[in-house]
Amino acid sequence: MGKIIAIHSYKGGTGKTLFSVNLAMTFALKGKKVCLLDMDFRAPSLHAILKAKSEKYWLNDYLNGTCSIEKALIDLTKLSGGKGKLLVGLANPSTEAIRDMSAKDRKWEMRALGRLLAMRNSVLGEMGMDYLIFDTSPGLQYSSINAIVSADIVLVISTIDASDVQGTKRMLTELYDLFEKKTYMILNKVLIDYTTKKGKEELSEKLGNSHSLPIFEIVPCFCDILKAGGTRIIVKEFPQHFFSKTLNRMAEKIEHM
Amino acid sequence: MKKRDFSTKKSLIILEKIRENLEKLNQKIEVMIELQKHGKPSNEPLADVTAPLDVMTLLSMPDHLRKTAITVCRLGRATAEEVAQQTKRARAVESGYLNQLVLMGYLKKERQGRKAYFYVDKDDNNKE
């Protein structure tokens, strides 16, 4: 049976979508079958990065119970040059759909949780996918917590901004731990040279009590990635980039979990 | 030699404390059983309406009940035995927690022969 990964963060703009897309592509390039879902219904973004749109059904329709998961997925294996398999579930970016999704009640959210949990059998079981990746919305949103509850592994992305670090620490103890999730923290956009002793000390000071944090990877801030403005899949286009090598290392660690 | 005597004595004190605690627990359980016998019938939920078992509700639950509730969410429909296999806790313990969740209105219970099944009520599935 494959693995379900939720990519989450406390604040917005930390790089969740960047990591989701590139991790999915890294797995696909290794020949794995991957399903990537845009769970950020308030601010959908996968359609823009992958330059794709759904013909008829969106992920919203699957969670509404109006179509099966197969119908809500589109095959984007062509993006990996035919390697592995890359299926994507897009969130409907129309204003009407966003408004509709933000007005759901608790009962709907309960049923949505049931449908996400059912994907272990449908997507990993029947469809035989190796990985199911949820790109979530930041903070304590219903859709994000539903994804976290359904996942095996949670990757939480944080910058070293003080409010982000504090919020992430709180989520570690008051969210992920309560659901007994294997959680790993990725520090992104780090502007400190942590390879030096001085840098390490500075980073440790910014994080406060850093030895207790489940740090998975520390990723520097790259101007070229920021310049790309979410239009390029780094691991595919620049396989020798430091970022791509980090993603490869992450994928290997996840494979052996 | 003296050191060994000391550690044996320490172990005995700990064991004695455990025994005392177990006795206290037993007394509490007896009281709870009595209360249940003379209180509200156990198979009737406290609330008339089903309370939705959403993630925010799960978050606000005590740890022991959350574990049981999530397991039922994952399994869809399960007996206390099946839940206990997942949580690695005793069947009787899970049975108690499951019935507590039924009383709180989060789960439904249905008997089929000798087996009791617990599930999350997702009624009006087609009305979205």
pLDDT digits (tens, 9 = 90+) for B78-113: 999 999 999 999 999 999 999 999 999 999 999 999
Same structural domain, B85 and B126:
yes
Do the Cβ atoms of A110 and B126 come within 8 Å? no
In chain A, how many H helices and how many E strands?
A: 12, 8
Residue by residue, what is the 3-state secondary structure of A185-232? EEEEEECCCCCCHHHHHHHHHHHCCHHHCCEEEEEECCHHHHHHCCCC
Asked if A147 and A137 touch (Cβ cutoff 8 Å), the reply is: no
Distances (CA, A) of A107 to A113, B49, B125: 10, 12, 10
* B117-B120-B124-B125 Cα dihedral, nearest 10 degrees: -100
Residue B126 pLDDT exceeds 50: no
Q: How far apart are CA A143 and CA A44, in angstroms?
A: 12
Residue B6 pLDDT exceeds 90: no
Distances (CA, A) of B75 to A10, A121, B37: 29, 11, 31
Residues of B in contact with A147 (CB under 8 A): none
Q: CB under 8 Å to A177, separation ≥6 — which residues?
A: A183
Same structural domain, B34 and B47:
no
Confidence of residue B125 (pLDDT cuts 50, 70, 90): very low
CA distance A248 to chain B (A): 31
What is the domain count for chain B? Answer: 2
Same structural domain, B81 and B119:
yes
Nearest to A111 among B57, B67, B122 (CB): B122
pTM of the full predicted structure? 0.84
Per-residue pLDDT at B113: 92
Same structural domain, B74 and B122:
yes
| Per-residue pLDDT tens over the stretch A111-136 | 999 999 999 999 999 999 999 999 99
Q: Taking CA atoms, what residue in B is nearest to A119?
A: B74
- Token couple for A227: 């310049």
Using CB atoms within 10 A of its CB, is residue B63 exposed (0-12), middle (13-18) or buried (19+)?
Answer: exposed
Q: How far apart are CA A155 and CA A65, in angstroms?
A: 28
- The verdict on B65 touching A (C-beta cutoff 8 Å) is no
**Arithmetic mean of pLDDT, B56-72:** 95
Same structural domain, B19 and B7:
yes
- For residue B77, the Cα-to-chain-centroid distance in whole angstroms is 16
Do the Cβ atoms of B52 and A113 come within 8 Å? no
Same structural domain, B46 and B32:
no
Q: How far apart are CA B113 and CA B107, in angstroms?
A: 19
Q: How far apart are CA A253 and CA B6, in angstroms?
A: 47
CA distance A241 to chain B (A): 39
Residue span of the structural domain in which B67 resides: 42-128
Per-residue pLDDT at B88: 96
Same structural domain, B30 and B71:
no
Same structural domain, B96 and B121:
yes
Q: What is the DSSP string of A68-135?
A: -HHHHEEE-GGGGTT-SEEEEEPPP-SHHHHHHHHT--HHHHHHHHHHHHHHIIIIIIIS--SEEEEE
Residue A38: CA atoms inside 13 Å, Cβ hemisphere, count? Answer: 31
- For residue A159, the Cα-to-chain-centroid distance in whole angstroms is 15
Read off the CATH number of the domain in which B105 is found. Answer: 1.10.10.10
Residue B36 pLDDT exceeds 60: yes
Residue A154: beta bridge partners? A6, A183
Looking at domain A3-255, its CATH superfamily turns out to be P-loop containing nucleotide triphosphate hydrolases (3.40.50.300)
Same structural domain, B82 and B117:
yes
Asked if A136 and A171 touch (Cβ cutoff 8 Å), the reply is: no
Residues of B in contact with A111 (CB under 8 A): 122, 125, 128
- The verdict on B73 touching A (C-beta cutoff 8 Å) is yes
| Per-residue pLDDT tens over the stretch A181-204 | 999 999 999 988 888 888 888 888
**Arithmetic mean of pLDDT, B111-126:** 83
- The verdict on B58 touching A (C-beta cutoff 8 Å) is yes
Per-residue pLDDT at B35: 65
Residues of A in contact with B53 (CB under 8 A): 110
Lowest mean pLDDT across A147-151, A235-239, B38-42, B57-61: B38-42
Same structural domain, B66 and B124:
yes
Same structural domain, B49 and B31:
no
Same structural domain, B49 and B79:
yes
CA distance A128 to chain B (A): 19
Residue A6 pLDDT exceeds 60: yes
CA distance B4 to chain A (A): 36
